[in-house]
Structure 1
């Protein structure tokens, strides 16, 4: 453990994390907990995500998890080996195992965090960026834990759309088959929006897009927003905001180690901080 305002590093159910304690502690009350998953683009590790989006204005423990195959869980060949998996089969060798493992391990990770940090019983917030938005959405859809609020940045919402983006980005053609189509259907959160809306409480959800991102990402976001607006009891609990000048990622390459906060990350940090300060409560 670290002291006040010092980062804490540890392991929760075998998953490496970086955490920041709240700046203020309400005596006799359990602190809120925010759990975050990073991108495959910069910032692409827990440590880099913690530097990019510290959320220091939220009175909560902020915990940043390393996704499988990244950060302190990186493959022996590092980022190069992960990219090779993507070229071999982006859906079945990269996205699916990465996301599925993150979702399946989350209940044990959360229980471990609540045992290690003074947050048992407090409200839970989730943050997910790009591919890291999928674990956040699937956790909300699965209802295995109570989620009060969430923020998704440059979110992957419909995996098939993102595969098409990467086909354009890397000048490749993805060979879809029955198995990968099943994964894409499971990772289509527009189609599964009713499952998110069935949460109790319905998690207050902020969707953050980059004005300079591939148009497929804002389009997915608008689709999910439109679906949830119809399903939420309070439509104001679902919101979209666009960050000027932001492409997809919001940290400098290579995005593995902590780095100074970019202007775009600062705007994202401000938007999410405001959202959680309004909606992250018991």
Structure 2
């Protein structure tokens, strides 16, 4: 097994897992959860997809992993307390999405990856990033997947205590981050696997079912019995042994991306 490669791509921390054999190979880019595993290195350990003949490059979300403030997630917690949508969820998705083109260019300049369409994968809030790449950009994508994803941002906001005080601006942003309404665009862009733990938050589980239904034949649902929202044990910052339920997710993702991998040049 080749060792992980770590570094930064246009300022974005990453953990890259090479394919077993040498030479150019397709690229799959991921964005991790803000629950455990909550760093690029920890997400790579939870969902390595080791049997894929492709590079898997796990990008760090804002203020996570190598970009944590003072070595902890306390600053993220404070942003969430300040305003769950406008200070935390929306800015994180926006920044991760906006960082992606330059990070992708940097990755392609330093790693032997094909220059064709990429695969995209996101977990939880990282799932919203992957869906935004599919719905709102023209980056060529050969296949996408999300795991326990924030598919409707209103559902993610509702996980925080209290009634959120929507105004015109925040309501518009929440509507823009409702990817069920963009299912047609997503389906036109690439096939999508929606992985949903049967013990995930009920609203997120319902949104997963709605997205698959709205996307039609280009989307598939993979339900994982007994899987709650996280994919790793707390604190979820450092790489840890893969949990049995994460292994089930990993096998499903590996089979999905293998089915859709472009031919190697």
Structure 1 runs (4+) deviating above 3 angstroms are: none
- Alignment pair present for 1:146 and 2:140: yes
Structure 1 stretches of 5 or more lacking a match?
A: 230-234
- Alignment pair present for 1:227 and 2:214: yes
Shift of 1:77: 6.6
Q: Partner of 1:256: helix, strand, or coil?
A: coil
Aligned to 1:215: 202
CA distance in 1, matches of 2:184, 2:81: 33
Q: Partner of 1:246: helix, strand, or coil?
A: coil
Report 1:111-126 matches (<5 A). Answer: 111-126=105-120
For residues 43-97 of structure 1, the C-alpha deviation after alignment (integer angstroms, 9 at most, x for no partner) is 0000100100010011101111110011111123721221121011010000111
Aligned to 2:17: 20
- Alignment pair present for 1:194 and 2:184: yes
Give RMSD over aligned pairs: 1.4
- Alignment pair present for 1:52 and 2:46: yes
Q: Partner of 1:127: helix, strand, or coil?
A: strand
Aligned to 1:8: 5
Aligned to 1:232: none
Shift of 1:179: 1.8
2:69–2:75 Cα contact (<8 Å) kept: yes
Shift of 1:194: 2.2
Aligned to 1:180: 170
Give aligned pairs, total.
263
Shift of 1:245: 1.4
CA distance in 1, matches of 2:10, 2:231: 29
Scaled by the length of structure 1, the TM-score of the pair is 0.90
Scaled by the length of structure 2, the TM-score of the pair is 0.95
For residues 4-45 of structure 1, the C-alpha deviation after alignment (integer angstroms, 9 at most, x for no partner) is 6011001111101001100124x6xx3110111001100000
Aligned to 1:252: 233
